[in-house]
Amino acid sequence: MTELYNRSLEELHGMLVSKEITAQDLMRATFERIKETEPEIEAFITLNEEKALELAKALDEKGIDENNVLAGIPIGIKDNIVTKDLLTTAASKILYNFDPIYDATVMDKVYQADMIPVGKLNMDEFAMGGSTETSYFKKTKNAWDHSKVPGGSSGGSAAAVAAGQIPVSLGSDTGGSIRQPAAFNGIVGMKPTYGRVSRFGLIAFASSLDQIGPMTRTVKDNALALTAISGYDEKDGTSSGVSVPNFAEGLTGDIKGMKIALPTEYLGEGVAPGVKEAVLKAAETFRSLGATVEEVSLPHSKYGVAVYYIIASSEASSNLQRFDGIRFGYRSENVKNLEDVYVNSRSEGFGDEVKRRIMLGTFSLSAGYYDAYFKKAGQVRTLIKQDFEKVFADYDLIIGPSSPTVAFGIGENINDPITMYMSDILTIPVNLAGLPGMSIPAGLSEGLPVGLQLIGNYFEEKTMYQAAYAFEQATEFHKQQPAILGGQGE
């Protein structure tokens, strides 16, 4: 039973259908694995053991549907996705005791697919950060090297999958928060097209950028999970009615004739030599599979970070007004009047990075500066979007690094906001344009995983999965594993 944590979703499904194991067996083995590795990884904020075992028992009694690959599969949930009767903290002190009375739409979809949520995963506070070091609760470790960060903000979601605690997790991506931690931990992470997955019940950071997506160890597992959580939702005004294909169907590995673009800006200054080398080798792999790979330019991508931090911080300053110490969450006891309740609860409840972004956003939206900052950022966002549209007029896919570097040390960059912000330079433009982006393993540098980023046109996730699957089948990178999984990692 110990080997269950290293199997694909289809393998686990086969074992459940053949009754080699029961859903309860799988659930018990999952919690055993979590308890064994959690002291090293620290990926979970809250576990859902009692309810998960109840759901597994009910599923065993009902019987596993042989046509539903996800039935009985354990899944971890990022802690900014609202879960009924299960603490949802967004890794913040201000929500340390928040027990929701409803489920996010993606949770309804998880239950409809008969997947079983095992707990809530650590993250940067309110998804603000790129290393999972701004969490109020704990610092999650990289699965490959516990002295390194797991990336962020979905660091818990990535590390838990990479360490074999769970086969699949949900993260959220506002400027790279699924793809960068997926890259740092050597797994597959998909940020779908904006509107593909409902945001209802996702604690908002920046509403025009946020998107929920799956994190898994293989491309096909990821495609299965995205199929389950996608679809129109009337509760989300930005939800798209575009039909949802079965993303896992027809993954053949045939990409002959596919046209792939490699932006020169994505291999420029600041990209580590080992990362650049892995991406150029990946381009050669795609060529050997019959695809055309050509260099292109995305000239406005260099403004992405500046545009993103104005827009995202402005939206955050608006979204975080609801956390006021009155209706739910933390309330300061050090108060003499109503104003003290607001000011002290927020001062004591929010961490430094959240306060920094609220202040930056409030400044950008203020009367004297709105035109100079927020309005201008919106205009440049349109130029970034147009750059992508020009490339997609001629190409099926764009590739590049997911992150300029491999995982950095815990504590190394946390006191340098500019360095932290710049580490998202390659992922941010995708969110600004609302495009789908994913990270897949593309080798090792300095003994740590390198992520290859694939960017698709709107609602072209199927094309991305086809290319990613072809790359995965042609290489062995997805089989490289950290020491915690019995591999050769650090």
Contact 78, 124 (CB under 8 A): no
User: Which of the four pLDDT bands, split at 50, 70 and 90, describes residue 2?
Assistant: very low
Judge whether 199 lies within some domain: yes
Q: In this structure, what token pair is assigned to residue 89?
A: 């903290």
* pLDDT tens sequence across 211-231: 999 999 999 999 999 999 999
Q: In this structure, what token pair is assigned to residue 142?
A: 């990289």
485/490 Cα distance (integer angstroms)? 11
Contact 193, 241 (CB under 8 A): no
CATH of the domain at 228: 3.90.1300.10
User: Which of the four pLDDT bands, split at 50, 70 and 90, describes residue 420?
Assistant: confident
User: Which of the four pLDDT bands, split at 50, 70 and 90, describes residue 489?
Assistant: low
Identify the CA nearest to 214 among candidates 245, 183, 179, 238: 179
pLDDT at 444: 96
pLDDT at 422: 80
Judge whether 406 lies within some domain: no
Judge whether 70 lies within some domain: yes
Q: Is the pLDDT of residue 490 over 50?
A: no
Average pLDDT (396-414) is 95
* pLDDT tens sequence across 321-371: 999 999 889 999 999 999 999 999 999 999 999 999 999 999 999 999 999
- Average pLDDT in the chain: 95
Judge whether 230 lies within some domain: yes
Please, which residues bridge with residue 212 across strands?
A: 172
C-alpha torsion 325→328→330→332, nearest 10: 30
Percent of all residues in the chain with a pLDDT value above 70, rounded to a whole number = 99
**For the purposes of burial, counting CB atoms within 10 Å of the CB of 234, is it exposed (0-12), middle (13-18) or buried (19 or more)?**
exposed
* pLDDT tens sequence across 231-241: 999 999 999 99
Neighbouring C-beta atoms of residue 420, cutoff 10 Å: 21
* pLDDT tens sequence across 421-479: 888 899 999 999 999 999 999 999 999 999 999 999 999 999 999 999 999 999 999 98
Q: What SS3 state is found at 232?
A: coil
Neighbouring C-beta atoms of residue 170, cutoff 10 Å: 29
Q: Give me the number of domains the chain comprises.
A: 1
For residues 419 and 338, the model is more confident at: 338
Active site residues: 78, 153, 177
311/207 Cα distance (integer angstroms)? 10
Judge whether 222 lies within some domain: yes
Q: Is the pLDDT of residue 1 over 60?
A: no
Average pLDDT (315-326) is 93
Q: Compute the chain's Rg from CA coordinates.
A: 21
347/358 Cα distance (integer angstroms)? 12
Average pLDDT (265-283) is 95
pLDDT at 419: 81
455/464 Cα distance (integer angstroms)? 7
Judge whether 264 lies within some domain: no
pLDDT at 415: 84
Judge whether 9 lies within some domain: yes
pLDDT at 485: 85
Q: Is the pLDDT of residue 300 over 50?
A: yes
% helix / strand / coil in the chain, to the nearest 5?
Answer: 45, 15, 45
Judge whether 343 lies within some domain: no
Q: What SS3 state is found at 127?
A: helix
Place of tokens 């990479």: 162
Average pLDDT (242-246) is 97
Contact 482, 489 (CB under 8 A): yes
Structural domain including 16 reads 4-253
